[in-house]
């Protein structure tokens, strides 16, 4: 299945506290597109439905959506780094 998205990634580089970072382990991605289905504004996919490379900075107001998307990944390709804690 090919899912596409041209969704732009959220980033927050103002240096303020409270920023969540999603580490993208692209080599683990199998193109399920579940992350994108949960949060298309955060998780962009390429033309073949694989997550775009590069880590994602998520502002406070989108943390829950980012968390849901990361937790929906069956390959654990999205690692959550938030306030000193790491989870997949
Ligand atoms: S849910 Fe996981 S495996 Fe599927 S596209 Fe997103 S990162 Fe890749």
Q: What is the pLDDT along the chain (88 residues), one digit of tens a residue?
A: 444 554 556 554 444 456 799 999 999 999 999 999 999 999 999 999 999 999 999 999 999 999 999 999 999 999 999 987 888 8
From the candidate CATH numbers 3.30.750.24, 3.40.50.10490, 3.40.50.2300, 3.30.70.20, the one assigned to the domain spanning 20-87: 3.30.70.20
Can you give the pLDDT at residue 11?
52
Ligand 1 site residues, Cβ closer than 6 angstroms: 29-35, 43, 51, 73, 75, 77-78
Can you give the pLDDT at residue 77?
98
List, in sequence order, every residue forming a beta bridge with 86; answer none if it has no partner.
Answer: 81
Domain residue ranges in the chain = 20-87
**Ligand 1 centroid vs 22 CA: distance in angstroms?**
13
Can you give the pLDDT at residue 19?
78
Cβ-based neighbours of 19, under 8 Å, separated by 6 or more: 12, 57, 58, 59, 60
Can you give the pLDDT at residue 18?
64
Can you give the pLDDT at residue 83?
81
Reported pTM: 0.80
CA distance 84 to 21: 10
């Amino acid at each position: 299945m090919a899912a596409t998205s041209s969704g732009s990634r959220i980033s927050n580089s103002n240096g303020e506290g409270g920023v969540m970072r999603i580490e993208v382990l692209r080599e683990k991605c199998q193109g399920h597109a579940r992350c994108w289905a949960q949060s298309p504004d955060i998780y962009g996919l390429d033309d073949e439905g694989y997550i775009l490379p590069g880590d994602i900075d998520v502002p406070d107001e989108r943390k829950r959506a980012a968390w849901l998307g990361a937790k929906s990944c069956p390959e654990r390709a999205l690692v959550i780094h938030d306030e000193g804690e790491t989870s997949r």
